């Protein structure tokens, strides 16, 4: 079956794409709007603004890839499509962070899970973070719009065995569980979403909004890493970028972008980093602080039958049984999901070495993995991390607090209980020194006594949020509830950095819906008026 490659087709049709690494001299480009970043926020904004008749330039630090480049091999995907080759860590190396790199951003490599912003998060923002106009009643039309645009619907097929175990455990224990909505169209159910979709079924920005914007005349500049915003008084007057090679190594050419309006959509680490490098006014010292990760714990389980967690839709069932159990600002809750199980991914996120690690990998096809995503940012003892500049770039300092470790112990117990209820023969909490546990009773005792600590306990994240929060009170927020700067007339932020806490849910649909709302208002303000 022939698969249309929208990138190849679009480039052949004359899209305006500039690979900055191919430029031989400095350039200055102008448009009505310059968007920094091409992920969930940048892509949606680009489509809406070009639809309104505005000229748009999309600036992306990573490469432009297409389905022909997605060969379903981890050794290719991680260096090519992830920030720091999927090896990014927090300052103390205790948390590994997955973020996409390239046109489409993390939407090109995520696992397609699409969940509307939970009401407790929105209520908390309204009550404590001065966010207005973002109730679920007000947002649901925007979520519906983006669900239709990106073909987001419940996964209509049987979950793979990895997800089936999560479902089975929940059913046995009477725990809440939900079929996940996915942004796919004609999915082949291969299970390799994290390596870029080789059949263009994933409705990422790479195959939807970015092509739509380019069809309407937008310009895409790839391999141009934004250094800083140039500003004076209450105006941004340029974006300065450096050409980079495919490994993000700086090249001699600079590109200057000028526009009526600028949108930062570079993600929750790079948007604050650009702001810090630009020395934007920040009288209340907010930029980069309260960055959240949904720090995630893993529990392995060995089953007697093949799990083959590398095959089939990576995520199709989740459980919110424990997310809001103690209220928004009570003890930290956690969401239960499963990850895809690929050799390098799992080998790098498990513990032990030598013979013990080899024995674990020998059980690879019988291995089920459950993850617990801890909802951070609501508790006094859960203030998240801070993006800081360094001599060589940036770092995210994220201390793991007592409140997190209390949640971690509860999460390990929940995951073990669930896995035994689903029929696991053995459970292995992924923390150094933990043995295989052979029963729920044994697990309860061992987990209550287990030693939890940074670098000893494996913690990972694929959800970076916060660092440039929205809200009406400038003491709490850098941008207003529409993502418009409190300090510059012509600057907006449209990405996950605007969330004042974590979400308690996978973030892509929240970014899509809220960006659609905010970009539509911006388009009304900027679009050419009929004479």
Beta strand 152-154 with 181-183: parallel, antiparallel or unpaired? antiparallel
pLDDT of 251 = 96
Q: What is d(CA 256, CA 254) in angstroms, rounded to the nearest whole number?
A: 7
b/e map 225-262, b = 16+ CB within 10 Å: bbbbbebeeeebebbbbbbbeeebeebebbbebbbebb
For residue range 389-409, list pLDDT tens digits in order: 999 899 999 999 999 999 999
Q: What is the mean pLDDT of residues 458-474?
A: 97
Distances (CA, A) of 478 to 262, 288, 423: 15, 10, 49
pLDDT over threshold 80, residue 2:
no
Of 377, 350, 390, which is closest to residue 464 (Cα–Cα)? 377
pLDDT of 357 = 87
3-state secondary structure 35-89: EECCCHHHHHHHHHHHHCCCCEEEECCCCCCCHHHCCCCHHHHHHHHEHHHHCEE
Residues 272, 279: contact at Cβ < 8 Å? no
For residue range 165-206, list pLDDT tens digits in order: 999 999 999 999 999 999 999 999 999 999 999 999 999 999
Q: Count of CB atoms within 10 A of residue 527's CB?
A: 14
pTM above 0.85, yes or no: yes
For residue range 309-364, list pLDDT tens digits in order: 999 999 999 999 999 999 999 999 999 999 999 999 888 887 777 888 888 888 99
Beta bridge partners of 114: 181
Of 239, 286, 292, which is closest to residue 269 (Cα–Cα)? 292
Q: What is d(CA 154, CA 181) in angstroms, rounded to the nearest whole number?
A: 4
- For the chain, first and last CA: distance in Å? 49
pLDDT classification of 368: cutoffs 50, 70, 90? very high
- How is residue 369 annotated by DSSP? E
Reduce the DSSP state of residue 173 to 3 states and report it: helix
Backbone angles phi, psi at 420, to 5 degrees: -65, -40
pLDDT above 70 covers a percentage of the chain that reads 99
Q: What is d(CA 296, CA 369) in angstroms, rounded to the nearest whole number?
A: 12
Residue located via tokens 């199980």: 341
Length of the chain: 531
């Amino acid at each position: 079956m022939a698969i249309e490659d929208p990138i190849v087709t679009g480039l052949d049709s004359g899209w305006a794409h500039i690979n900055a690494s191919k430029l031989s001299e400095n350039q200055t480009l102008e448009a009505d709007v310059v968007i920094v970043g091409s992920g969930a926020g940048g892509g949606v904004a680009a489509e809406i603004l070009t639809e309104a008749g505005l000229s748009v330039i999309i600036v992306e630090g990573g490469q432009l890839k297409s389905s022909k480049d997605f060969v379903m091999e981890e050794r290719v995907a991680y260096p090519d499509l992830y920030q720091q080759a999927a090896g990014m860590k927090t300052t103390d190396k205790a948390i590994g962070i997955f973020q996409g790199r390239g046109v489409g951003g993390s939407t090109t490599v995520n696992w397609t899970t699409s969940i509307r912003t939970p009401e407790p998060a929105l209520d908390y923002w309204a009550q404590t973070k001065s966010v207005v106009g973002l109730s679920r009643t007000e947002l649901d039309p925007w979520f519906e719009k983006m669900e239709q645009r990106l073909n987001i619907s419940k996964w209509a097929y049987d979950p793979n065995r990895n997800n089936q175990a999560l479902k089975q455990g929940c059913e046995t224990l009477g725990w809440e569980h939900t079929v996940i909505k996915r942004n796919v169209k004609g999915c082949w159910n291969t299970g390799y979403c994290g390596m870029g979709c080789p059949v263009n079924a994933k409705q990422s920005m790479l195959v939807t909004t970015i092509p739509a914007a380019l069809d309407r005349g937008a310009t895409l500049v790839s391999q141009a890493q934004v250094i800083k915003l140039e500003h004076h008084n209450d105006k941004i007057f340029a974006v300065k970028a450096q050409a980079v090679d495919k490994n993000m190594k700086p090249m001699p050419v600079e590109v200057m972008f000028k526009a009526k309006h600028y949108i930062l959509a570079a993600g929750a680490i790079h948007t604050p980093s650009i702001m810090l490098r630009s020395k934007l006014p920040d009288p209340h010292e907010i930029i980069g602080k309260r960055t959240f990760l949904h720090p995630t714990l893993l529990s392995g389980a060995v089953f007697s039958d093949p799990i083959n967690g590398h095959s089939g839709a990576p995520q199709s069932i989740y459980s919110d049984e424990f997310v809001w159990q103690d209220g928004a600002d009570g003890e930290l809750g956690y969401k239960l999901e499963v990850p895809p199980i690929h050799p390098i991914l799992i080998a790098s996120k498990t513990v032990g070495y030598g013979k013990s690690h080899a024995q674990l990998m020998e059980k690879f096809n019988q291995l089920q993995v459950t993850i617990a995503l801890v909802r951070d940012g609501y508790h006094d003892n859960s203030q998240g991390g801070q993006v800081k500049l360094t001599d060589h770039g940036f770092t995210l300092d994220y201390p793991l607090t007592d409140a997190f470790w209390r949640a971690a112990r509860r999460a390990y117990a929940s995951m073990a209980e669930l896995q035994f209820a689903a029929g696991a023969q053995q459970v292995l909490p992924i923390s150094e020194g933990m043995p295989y546990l052979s029963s729920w009773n044994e697990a309860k005792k061992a987990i209550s006594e287990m030693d939890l600590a940074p670098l000893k306990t494996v913690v990972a994240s694929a959800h970076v949020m916060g660092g440039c929060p929205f809200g009406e009170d400038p003491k709490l927020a850098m941008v207003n509830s529409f993502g418009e700067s409190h300090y510059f007339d012509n600057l907006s932020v449209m990405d996950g950095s605007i969330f004042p806490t974590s979400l308690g849910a996978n973030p892509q649909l929240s970014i899509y819906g809220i960006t659609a709302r905010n970009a539509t208002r911006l388009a009304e303000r900027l679009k050419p008026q009929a004479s």
